[in-house]
Amino acid sequence: MGRVAGLVLGCAADRLLGDPRRFHPVAGFGRFALAVESRTYADHRAAGGLHSLVVVGGTVLLARTLREGTLVTALCTWTVLGGRSLAREAAAVAAHLEAGDLPAARERVTHLVGRDPSRLGPDEVARATVESVAENTSDAVVAPLLWGAVAGPAGLLGYRAVNTLDAMVGHRSPRYLRFGWASARLDDAANLVPARVTALLAATGAPGPALRAWRRDAGRHPSPNAGPVEAAFAGALGLRLGGRNRYGEEVQDRGFLGDGRPPAPGDIGRAVVLADRVGAAALSLAVLGAIARRRGRR
């Protein structure tokens, strides 16, 4: 039962401590990925596929050398989860907005989103924060827990490698348009089930509005996984998310998700509460899944 205990202890460490302050393994992974990129980069998809194979495959192989037990699983879980940090960043944005300090809120929201906040008003900053809380609840809490339940440390670290690599090279910039294609598709595949589990868990408190928004509006979002999650959060919170986002000189119109009113600064705290409930439910599912897997193997 080391996997079950490790997942629970790792979640507790994340809630109490947040991310490791120094020598975070993800920073080390980033340096490793950049070193590999210096040797594998070329402006075509095959090179990007090789890059993903080396970086993610190397991480999984390393994780497989670890002797799985309670302590190792707990440390890996604590390393890859980001629930406490997500809540802390969202609360900081909300505090700046409530104090009327829009410039500080705009600067702080860049810790959560990639869009240009320089022209955002208070409500648009709040929308960006709520959307980030929704999407990152799936990426940084639910998905790693489910992968940890299935594959232990290899699942935890392998998933984190996939997700981090997508953040590094999976975006549609001129340099990474082709090279990052494989990393982006791998991340889509790794999050396909966790995103829908997240949406279902978010919908439990208000199933009618949340499921309706998911079914009707998720396809308007450019991401196949963020769409269901953000739509379900919008319906559960009684809000309307989505709309126009500016990324430098590029403007994306993502359509609207949900039937409610636009988010206000006070809705950030509500989104964090919902995210916490979803994370707790995901831990329960992960524990049950790990127990079922163990019994099935026996």
DSSP string, 155-200: HHHHHHHHHHHHHHH-S--TTTTTTTHHHHHHHHHHTHHHHHHHHH
Q: Which residue, among 189, 175, 202, 173, has the nearest Cα to 56 in the 3D structure? A: 189
Confidence band, pLDDT 50/70/90 cuts, at residue 172: confident
To the nearest 10 degrees (0 to 180), the angle between helices 2-17 and 70-80 is 40
Residue 29, number of CB atoms within 10 A of its CB: 20
Q: What is the pLDDT of residue 44?
A: 95
Q: What is the mean pLDDT of residues 116-121?
A: 90
pLDDT at 248 over 70: no
Q: What is the pLDDT of residue 159?
A: 97
Q: How far is 150 from 294, CA to CA, in rounded Å? A: 10
Which of the residue ranges 67-71, 95-99, 136-140 would you say has the lowest mean pLDDT?
Answer: 67-71
Q: What is the dihedral of CA 181, 183, 184, 189, to 10 degrees?
A: 120
Q: What is the mean pLDDT of residues 47-63?
A: 96
Give the rounded percent of residues in the chain with a pLDDT score beyond 70.
Answer: 98
175: phi then psi, degrees, rounded to nearest 5: -70, -35
Q: What is the pLDDT of residue 184?
A: 96
Confidence band, pLDDT 50/70/90 cuts, at residue 23: low
- What's the alpha-carbon Rg for the chain, to the nearest Å? 19
Quote the mean pLDDT of the chain. 93
Confidence band, pLDDT 50/70/90 cuts, at residue 254: confident
pLDDT at 37 over 80: yes
Q: What is the pLDDT of residue 178?
A: 96
Q: What is the pLDDT of residue 127?
A: 97
Q: What is the pLDDT of residue 211?
A: 97
Q: Which residue, among 7, 20, 165, has the nearest Cα to 74 in the 3D structure? A: 7
Confidence band, pLDDT 50/70/90 cuts, at residue 295: confident
Q: What is the pLDDT of residue 259?
A: 93
Q: What is the pLDDT of residue 249?
A: 67
Helices (H), 25-121: 25-40, 45-64, 70-80, 83-98, 102-109
Question: Tokens in use for 34?
Answer: 């950049």
Give the rounded percent of residues in the chain with a pLDDT score beyond 90.
Answer: 83
Confidence band, pLDDT 50/70/90 cuts, at residue 250: confident
Q: What is the pLDDT of residue 298?
A: 65
pLDDT at 222 over 70: yes
pLDDT at 176 over 70: yes
Q: What is the mean pLDDT of residues 104-123?
A: 93
Confidence band, pLDDT 50/70/90 cuts, at residue 252: confident
Q: What is the mean pLDDT of residues 143-160?
A: 96
Confidence band, pLDDT 50/70/90 cuts, at residue 285: very high
Confidence band, pLDDT 50/70/90 cuts, at residue 79: very high
